[in-house]
């Protein structure tokens, strides 16, 4: 079982110096638009992932006009205390401590405090390009397969090096092809590992998504989901060899893992072009709940579930079904935000399970 007991923030977005205690499995957070509900969820997310779900850089998290920030939180994981402190110093340097010990590599912390965020703009996972879907699956798989994260990081680092070299080769008449051979050889092992794991994990994930979609949408047909990868057609070694001239000309690596996708179709057409708003919402929740379920299966305990503004997204019945599923049937801790204190209170009361309601901006 994983739960967060308390969090304190200093100079974090719109918060000066504030702390909260979380006493229940279900925590509702209400308050008017712009009061800081999302920011509070994001601070929890930050403790789990060493980065924000929303902001591209840490500097965006520091309160405007201030320098440096601090976020500290106490968790309980399988009965043992687990504390996290994140500090961004005035000079921008970041320190992350777990149980008072400095974390040398942020990657080592990923997966220790599994969490799933559901936020209003997440529908981009379905409507936007493949990058959003890769981010979704990588964030999920990295939380239960540490080697996956390390191999993915190695692949991305080498890819950057390769693209830099391709630019040089294109500009200086191909001097340095030996180095390209070296980088290409180094890319193969991490690419193969990530590809194999994506194949395995996506097959499992897709089955859970279908089940969740049926439960949420109540439809007896499913979107067709499949793993698309150039590596399903040929090995990366072959692709790199075949595309070498093209890559030098384009000054970038034109094929590889970074082109993978979780393809989503409905009646043989792209889901994002044909699906209704309701179907998109249902699929988004199905993806997120599938991520939640998969994490729970792998970790042996439920991840934190951070639901931002979901009341605006689903009708009342679907919302109540979802809350029963994630708040009552699961033993995990759930955070929900809503602008209307009465609406969230009423929904949570109907669950007949203990909950806490934080009203931001009051008292
Ligand atoms: N770095 C920052 N420094 C100061 N304030 C910030 C910073 N980043 C964001 N904010 C402020 O935080 C507020 C938004 O907070 P947040 O998104 O958490 O609100 P919310 O309660 O979730 O609102 P909504 O109900 O509209 O989703 C805005 O007023 C924004 O100006």
CATH of the domain at 151: 1.20.1050.90
Annotated binding site for ATP: 31-38
Q: What pTM was computed for the model? A: 0.95
In sequence order, the 6+-apart residues with CB closer than 8 A to the CB of 160 are none
CA nearest neighbour of 258 among 228, 302, 296, 234 = 228
- Other beta carbons within 10 angstroms of residue 362's beta carbon come to 9
If asked whether residues 168 and 295 sit together in one domain, one would say: yes
Task: List pLDDT tens digits, range 32-61.
Answer: 999 999 999 999 999 999 999 999 999 999
pLDDT for res 101:
97
Mean pLDDT of 257-272: 93
If asked whether residues 293 and 177 sit together in one domain, one would say: yes
Phi and psi, residue 12, nearest 5°: -105, 110
If asked whether residues 234 and 272 sit together in one domain, one would say: yes
Residue span of the structural domain in which 6 resides: 1-114+303-362
Of 301, 336, 353, the position where a domain reaches its end is 301
Atom of ligand 1 nearest to the CA of 31: 21
**Per-residue DSSP letter, 326:** I
Residue 313 has pLDDT above 80, yes or no: no
**Is 138 domain-assigned?**
yes
Residue 302 has pLDDT above 70, yes or no: yes
**Is 120 domain-assigned?**
no
The set of protein residues with a Cβ atom below 6 angstroms from ligand 1 is 13-14, 31, 33-39, 60, 62-64, 309, 339
Q: Decide: 141 and 198 in contact? Cβ < 8 Å.
A: yes
Task: List pLDDT tens digits, range 198-221.
Answer: 999 999 999 999 999 988 877 767
CA-to-CA distance for 77 and 1, rounded, in angstroms?
6
**In the chain, pLDDT over 90 holds for what percent of residues?**
82
Element (H, E) at 171: helix 146-171
If asked whether residues 133 and 85 sit together in one domain, one would say: no
Task: List pLDDT tens digits, range 86-107.
Answer: 999 999 999 999 999 999 999 9
Phi and psi, residue 129, nearest 5°: -70, 180
Q: Decide: 51 and 360 in contact? Cβ < 8 Å.
A: no
Contacts of 10-14 with C-beta under 8 Å, sequence gap 24+, read 10/69, 10/70, 10/71, 11/62, 11/63, 11/66, 11/67, 11/68, 11/69, 11/70, 12/39, 12/43, 12/61, 12/62, 12/63, 12/69, 12/70, 12/71, 13/39, 13/42, 13/61, 13/63, 14/39, 14/63
- How high is the mean pLDDT of the chain? 94
CA-to-CA distance for 168 and 166, rounded, in angstroms?
5
Residue 236 banded pLDDT, cuts 50, 70, 90: very high
**Residue to probe by mutation, ligand 1, list 14, 18, 62, 361, most atoms within 8 Å of CB:** 14
pLDDT for res 363:
65
> Looking at the 3D structure of the chain, how many domains does it have?
2
**Is 122 domain-assigned?**
no
If asked whether residues 101 and 195 sit together in one domain, one would say: no
**Is 119 domain-assigned?**
no
Token pair 């890769």 in the structure block, residue: 134
If asked whether residues 243 and 195 sit together in one domain, one would say: yes
């Amino acid at each position: 079982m994983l739960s967060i007991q308390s969090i304190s923030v200093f100079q974090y977005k719109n918060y000066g110096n504030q702390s909260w205690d979380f006493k229940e499995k279900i925590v509702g957070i209400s308050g008017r638009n712009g009061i800081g509900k999302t920011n509070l969820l994001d601070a929890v997310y930050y403790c789990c992932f060493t980065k924000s779900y929303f902001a591209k850089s840490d500097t965006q998290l520091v309160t405007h006009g201030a320098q440096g920030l601090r976020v500290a939180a106490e968790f309980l994981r399988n009965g043992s205390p687990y504390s996290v402190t994140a500090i961004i110093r005035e000079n921008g340097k970041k320190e992350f401590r777990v149980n008072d010990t400095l974390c040398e590599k942020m990657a080592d912390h990923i997966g220790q405090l599994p969490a799933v965020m559901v936020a209003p703009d997440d529908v981009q996972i379905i409507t936007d390009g493949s990058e959003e879907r890769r981010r979704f699956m990588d964030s999920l798989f990295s939380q239960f397969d540490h080697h996956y994260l390390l191999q993915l990081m190695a692949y991305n680092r080498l890819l950057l090096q390769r693209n830099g070299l391709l630019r040089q080769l294109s500009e200086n008449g191909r001097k340095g092809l030996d180095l390209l051979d070296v980088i290409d050889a180094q890319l193969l092992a991490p690419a193969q590992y990530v590809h194999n794991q994506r194949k395995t994990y996506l097959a499992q994930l897709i089955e859970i998504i279908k089940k969740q979609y049926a439960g949420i949408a109540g439809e007896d047909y499913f979107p067709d989901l499949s793993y698309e990868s150039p590596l399903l057609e040929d090995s990366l070694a072959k692709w790199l060899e075949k595309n070498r001239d093209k890559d030098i000309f384009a000054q970038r690596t034109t094929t590889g893992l970074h082109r993978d996708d979780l393809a989503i179709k409905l009646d043989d057409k792209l889901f994002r072009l044909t699906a209704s708003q309701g179907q998109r919402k249902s699929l988004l929740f199905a993806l997120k709940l599938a991520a939640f379920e998969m994490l729970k299966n792998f970790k042996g305990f439920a991840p934190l579930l951070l639901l931002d503004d979901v009341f605006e997204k689903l009708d009342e019945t679907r919302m109540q079904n979802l809350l029963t599923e994630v708040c009552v049937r699961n033993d995990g801790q759930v955070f929900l935000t809503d602008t209307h204190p009465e609406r969230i209170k009423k929904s949570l009361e109907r669950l007949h399970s203990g909950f806490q309601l934080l009203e931001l901006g009051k008292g």
